[in-house]
Amino acid sequence: MTSIGAAVKEPGSSKHNKTGSWRTFKPILDKEKCIDCENCILFCPEGCINKDYDIDYDYCKGCGICAEECPVKAIKMERDK
Amino acid sequence: MIKVISANRAIAEAVKLAKPNVVPVFPITPQTSISEYLAKFVADGDLNAEYIRVESEHSAISAAVGASGAGVRTFTATSSQGLALMHEILFVAAGMRNPIVMANANRALSAPLSIWNDQQDSISERDTGWMQFFAENAQEALDFVIQAYKISENKEVLLPSMVCVDGFILTHTVEPVDIPSQEDVDRFLPPYQPLTYLDPEEPMSLGTFTDPDYYMEARYDMEVAMEGSKNIIREVNKEFEEIFGRKYDLIENYKCEDAEIIIVAMGSICGTIKDVVDNLRHNGEKVGLLKVIAFRPFPKEEIYEAVKNAHRIAVLDKNISFGIGGVLVNEIKAKMDVDASGFILGLGGRDVSPEDIINIINQTRNSTDSGKINWIGLKEE
């Protein structure tokens, strides 16, 4: 996608910009421990957790709010590569 | 055709021959007559360009970036405070890989306010990604502008160029200049073919936001282009010589081959130094001049080849980076293992005479401390 002078030839291409690359820590959910309270879904500032509790790592910036708000500590923050 | 004209007139003639489509300029001493000549050329129908009377230098370079983004050849010119005001957009022009050509009339920066010559203004823009070519005389000013378009517009370069002329010493002094024919310039410099440009039929974004995934590669590409530009400059110099008969290189080696002491300098002062070298050589003293034409890209290999056999080297700087000294001497010392003395001179229009050059040669010959910053022409109480 890089070009000389960083010209972007395709309009509306910001959806290709995977902001998940900004992440330092990555949330890992243990679905066995999950009690389906939806706190993480409600608190996620990026809307990156769906109703099935799948985390969208393309856009999750790793803020850790989900892990903080989980009442049963089902989400761990691990250092991302 | 030979005409007796100033460097500013020579630059305007070169621009007319290069046929840019957009010319946004803001007048500033000592560049003003370039903008006046170009305004007249456009008004008289001699130059078919959009002449934009912008409200500042920041706007001038911004308009040039916009025009270049729209895919046309463009030219602007400035000096000193004007160049400093452009600073922000100089990075933008280089980063967007706009092959803009700009003339800079070298003038001291405020404060104290001065309209006279030194080279602090363009030297201070050395990290922006612009190529910089320093002219010794009006002929070189004309020739460098024409060549700058061909170098900048080369697909392997695509970096903007700054042609630097010493304020008043060149900009307002007349001398004979060979103005090439339009036919020859057209043969040398074909119309600009942009790689990408703004087109409503095929919309795209230029100069966009980049996240950490892309930025570093874009900057790396610029460094590759800047290093690679040396080969392109040599090719363009060769092609220029074939058509116009005048030979240029990244540097000019003036009697350095067997020289024991070599002076390294840039710009109009080289004319004075050549005169001194000739006189001293007449008396049997082996001295030479290494003129740096391209300051960016920095011709480290060429400079080293030319000066490596000299006993001592004197590097002249019409600029100062406070706390370390002249920029040219420090760059030379950083990139090559040579023993060089640095001299600060000619700041804010302080005159540099042939006697000063002889004084520099004597100080260099007997130097005991090459780390010292030597000031020439300083009034000491």
For A22-41, what is the mean pLDDT? 96
pTM of the model: 0.94
Share of chain B above pLDDT 70, in %: 100
State whether ipTM is beyond 0.85. no
Q: How far apart are CA B148 and CA B25, in angstroms?
A: 18
Predicted confidence band of residue B207 (pLDDT cuts 50, 70, 90): confident
In sequence order, what are the beta bridge partners of B263? B289, B314
The 10 Å Cβ neighbour count of residue B52 is 18
* Chain A residue set in contact with B, beta carbons under 8 Å: 1-11, 13, 17-19, 21-22
Predicted confidence band of residue B204 (pLDDT cuts 50, 70, 90): confident
Share of chain B above pLDDT 90, in %: 94
pLDDT given at position B101: 98
Contact B243, B188 (CB under 8 A): yes
Q: How far apart are CA B167 and CA B268, in angstroms?
A: 10
pLDDT given at position B246: 98
Per the CB < 8 Å rule, is A11 touching B203?
yes
Nearest-10 Cα torsion for B9, B13, B15, B16: 140
Residues 6+ positions from B91 with CB-CB distance below 8 Å: B128, B129
Q: How far is the alpha carbon of B88 from chain A, nearest alpha carbon, in Å? A: 16
Predicted confidence band of residue A1 (pLDDT cuts 50, 70, 90): very low
pLDDT given at position A81: 76
Identity at A4, one-letter amino acid code: I
Nearest CB to A7; choose among B206, B217, B221 = B206
pLDDT in tens, B171-180: 999 999 999 9
**DSSP structure string for B31-71:** THHHHHHHHHHHHTTSS-SEEEE-SSHHHHHHHHHHHHHTT
From chain A, pick out residues whose CB is under 8 angstroms from the CB of B205: 7-8, 11, 13
Q: How far apart are CA B174 and CA B21, in angstroms?
A: 28
pLDDT in tens, B322-362: 999 999 999 999 999 998 999 999 999 999 999 999 999 99
Statement: residue B41 has pLDDT above 50: yes
pLDDT given at position B166: 98
> Based on the number of CB atoms within 10 Å of its own CB, is B346 exposed (0-12), middle (13-18) or buried (19 or more)?
buried
DSSP state, residue B108: P
**DSSP structure string for B173-194:** --EEEEPPPHHHHHHHSPPP--
Nearest CB to B96; choose among A2, A5, A10 = A5
Which phi and psi angles does B103 have, rounded to 5°? Answer: -100, 135
pLDDT given at position A2: 55
From chain B, pick out residues whose CB is under 8 angstroms from the CB of A20: none
pLDDT in tens, B261-297: 999 999 999 999 999 999 999 999 999 999 999 999 9
From chain B, pick out residues whose CB is under 8 angstroms from the CB of A61: none
Per the CB < 8 Å rule, is B97 touching A4?
yes
For residue B160, give the nearest of B172, B151, B169, B147 by alpha carbon: B151
Predicted confidence band of residue B367 (pLDDT cuts 50, 70, 90): confident
In sequence order, what are the beta bridge partners of B3? B177
pLDDT given at position B209: 84
